[in-house]
Amino acid sequence: MRWLSLYPGEHIYSGLIRYRMRMGQGVMSDKRFFAHNHLPYQWFRSQVPLNHLMRETLDSIAPKSDEQFTLRLNHTPFAPWLLSLLDGMAPQELKAANHRPNTEENPFQVDRRWKYCPKCTQAQKAKWGVSYWRAAHQLPGALVCDEHGSPLHSHDALRYLNFTLPDKWEGTSTPVPMVDAWQVSWQPFIYAIARRLQCQPTWGVELRDSIYEVLKLSKPLRRGDRTVVNALFAQMRNDLGESCLAGLFTAYARQFTRPTNVLWITLSPFGQSKGLRHPLYWLAIVFWLREQLPALKDEYENGVTTTL
């Protein structure tokens, strides 16, 4: 594949859309386009940086492993996944979630539509002559632009991207609503976490270790720790509030009788919780403890607690 250079912060799939336009492949059907470029015929999802389509796309444009890691880190919403590194795994080795199809998304309630900032779109067109989808705007829970502080826009038809760029949605998209107080605090939080992990990919290990330290839990957890963890999760649930958990996890949004114990399933090495966790579990815990974690001290001193 004769790949195009990506713009700063541009999502990989945005580059693939521009590639199709530039190479005159817009006359092909979508299915033919994927087949012609030896890619699996799948939807463009905004928050799944480890799925089969992403892996095959990276294999096509960057043969070397370190190049693929750099692209995934800077041009997809991959950075929070570094919180989920398995013990002993190098950041460059995290290339697949190893889940069933859609498991990267299904248990989670955050808005998964493609989002863009109208002010960014105007600036992009003025500078580059074309608009593009920014990877940072697709981070889980991102509702405002990290550069302009203005609401991101989306449309129900943007659940999956259909080979269009953001400027095509001007006039039909609407601002993504932000109605709860926790969502306001989440905006600088998620952007700061992602930026730090992009700069220091191994930092997630330090952050995870500080969770055990603050909660005074052994690592790894033992089965006998379940009672203590249950009590801690009751406190976490009370501190975050039901609106926060319902905004992050489907089980709480749908008011399941026995919703997921986020703390146990994230920290425990047992049962269904064993293996690679979705980063939203880790993010929820870090968000709860954000003012207590030693690893977050520098981030707070640099403005994580301020709102956009």
pLDDT tens-digit readout, 246-305: 999 999 999 998 888 999 999 998 865 567 889 999 999 999 999 999 888 776 555 444
Note the pLDDT of residue 274.
Answer: 62
Q: pLDDT digit string (tens) for 87-113?
A: 889 999 999 886 554 555 667 899 999
Note the pLDDT of residue 4.
Answer: 76
Task: Tell me if 170 sits within 8 A of 139, measured CB to CB.
Answer: no
Going by C-alpha positions, the residue among 163, 81, 151 that lies closest to residue 120 is 151
> In angstroms, rounded to a whole number, what is the distance separating the alpha carbons of residues 247 and 216?
28
Question: pLDDT at residue 307 above 70?
Answer: no
Note the pLDDT of residue 279.
Answer: 94
Number of Cβ atoms within 10 Å of the Cβ of 83: 24
* Percent of the chain topping pLDDT 70: 92
Q: What is the mean pLDDT of residues 114-118?
A: 98
Going by C-alpha positions, the residue among 198, 195, 200, 149 that lies closest to residue 175 is 149
Q: pLDDT digit string (tens) for 4-27?
A: 789 999 999 999 999 999 999 999
Q: What is the mean pLDDT of residues 240-246?
A: 97
Query: At a CB cut-off of 8 Å and minimum separation 6, what does 132 contact?
Result: 7, 10, 11, 14, 15, 18, 124, 165, 166
Question: pLDDT at residue 114 above 90?
Answer: yes
Q: pLDDT digit string (tens) for 61-71?
A: 998 999 999 99
Q: pLDDT digit string (tens) for 180-203?
A: 999 999 999 999 999 999 999 999
Q: In the chain, what is the straight-line distance between the N-terminal and C-terminal CA atoms, in Å?
A: 39
Going by C-alpha positions, the residue among 94, 169, 176, 100 that lies closest to residue 137 is 176
Note the pLDDT of residue 105.
Answer: 61
> pLDDT: is 107 or 53 the higher one?
53
DSSP per position, 226-263: HHHHHHHHHHHHHHH-HHHHHHHBHHHHTT-SS---HH
Note the pLDDT of residue 3.
Answer: 76
> In angstroms, rounded to a whole number, what is the distance separating the alpha carbons of residues 7 and 220?
42
Radius of gyration (C-alpha) of the chain in whole angstroms: 20
Task: Tell me if 71 sits within 8 A of 63, measured CB to CB.
Answer: no
> In angstroms, rounded to a whole number, what is the distance separating the alpha carbons of residues 243 and 39?
40
Angle at 137 between CA 287 and CA 83, to 5 degrees: 40
Note the pLDDT of residue 300.
Answer: 55
Give backbone dihedrals phi and psi of 270, rounded to 5 degrees, phi first.
-105, 155
Q: What is the mean pLDDT of residues 118-141?
A: 98
> In angstroms, rounded to a whole number, what is the distance separating the alpha carbons of residues 45 and 160?
6
Task: Tell me if 106 sits within 8 A of 115, measured CB to CB.
Answer: no
Note the pLDDT of residue 97.
Answer: 81
* Percent of the chain topping pLDDT 90: 81
Question: pLDDT at residue 306 above 50?
Answer: no
| Pairing relationship of beta strands 174-175 and 153-154 according to DSSP bridges | antiparallel
SS3 163: coil
